[in-house]
Copies of this chain bind each other. A is one copy, B any other.
Amino acid sequence: VRGQPLPFAGLKLDRADNLRADPERMAELAGPDARLLRLEGLIPRLGEDACLQWGRCGDLGDDAELVFLGLLDGEALFAAVPADGDTDPAYTRRETWAALGQLGPDELALYGGARSVLDWHARHRFCARCGGPTRIAKGGWQRDCTGAACAAQHFPRVDPVTIMLVEHDGRLLLGRSPRFPEGSYSALAGFVEPGESIEEAVAREVLEEAGVRVRDVSYIASQPWPFPSQLMIACHAHADDDALTIDETELEDARWFTRDEVRDALENGAESRSFRAPTPQAIARHMLQWWLEEER
């Protein structure tokens, strides 16, 4: 987990945030020949080389909303805000996932970051404060309310989520949501709420979902997750007791797994006799790998 960027992290672009606030420079960069990420809505369109495809900003109408993704070798990259954001959950998006499975790490990071911002724009065309229309600003890293009496500024949202390895006596607590594929288990997770630290969010989530009290919460790693825009914060925690009280509105099942069972799941995929491990794009899978490697 430490050392190499996790999937969706490791963006190679220079975000060049100093250019965003300069409308003239932005207009100059977004000329008709500027590179534009090819998407169908939010679905990436890959070429035969299994790479992201690029068009030109000139292909778009004048009313297109453009997001400045950053500079790659000095060249500006853009993407256009789609008509609609995503309302269906990520795991139902088979076309998107098929494409993601083909992308290398650099393109995965580029697509993920673009997707989060584009989806946010598509779902924030109005001002939450006054209900008036908003317009894109600062190269796509802001939206401004157009109502003179309000003029609120809005910024792309990032939602911090804790995801945790809970350990007791050498075993790990994993759970399955009713919407998981059959046999799949993963680390418990939940959004950080206003008024709590990361460590408190971890303890609250585990208590709510599995009825287990934890101590010694420690940070492992973090990952951006673009469905739509989470910051996954991976932690480890110790449980003093292994008795479970499962919140059945959240989890279908939760169980303690041994190192052998976790290893079996990671090594044998669908053939595993213990459980189906999370997808390679998910930080949860890397956390399990880390747990096996870490001698504690």
B127 touches A5 (CB 8 A): no
Alpha-carbon distance between A158 and B197 when the two chains are bound, in angstroms:
11
A247 on interface, CB distance cutoff 8 Å: yes
Interface size of A by Cβ–Cβ distance < 8 Å?
A: 63
A155 on interface, CB distance cutoff 8 Å: yes
A138 CB to closest chain B CB, in angstroms? 12
Known contacts A17-B208, A160-B160; A197 and B131 CB within 8 A of each other: no
Alpha-carbon distance between A15 and B190 when the two chains are bound, in angstroms:
14
A185 CB to closest chain B CB, in angstroms? 23
Interface membership of chain A positions 223-236, coded 1 if the CB is closer than 8 angstroms to chain B and 0 otherwise: 11010010101000
Alpha-carbon distance between A229 and B158 when the two chains are bound, in angstroms:
12
Alpha-carbon distance between A262 and B283 when the two chains are bound, in angstroms:
37
A6 on interface, CB distance cutoff 8 Å: yes
A268 CB to closest chain B CB, in angstroms? 29
A184 on interface, CB distance cutoff 8 Å: no
A55 on interface, CB distance cutoff 8 Å: no
Known contacts A158-B160, A159-B158; A224 and B18 CB within 8 A of each other: no
Alpha-carbon distance between A76 and B3 when the two chains are bound, in angstroms:
46
A243 on interface, CB distance cutoff 8 Å: no
A19 CB to closest chain B CB, in angstroms? 11
Residues on B with C-beta less than 8 A from A195 are 8, 11, 109, 112-114, 116-117, 224, 226
B125 touches A233 (CB 8 A): no
A130 on interface, CB distance cutoff 8 Å: yes
A215 CB to closest chain B CB, in angstroms? 12
Q: Which residue of B lies closest to A117 (CB)?
A: B194
| A-B contacts besides A109-B195, A124-B128, A131-B133, 10 pairs, CB < 8 Å | A11-B200, A18-B249, A85-B129, A113-B195, A116-B195, A117-B194, A128-B128, A160-B231, A197-B222, A219-B219
What 9 A-B pairs are tightest by C-beta distance, nearest first?
A113-B195, A116-B194, A126-B131, A219-B219, A198-B222, A124-B128, A9-B197, A197-B222, A128-B128
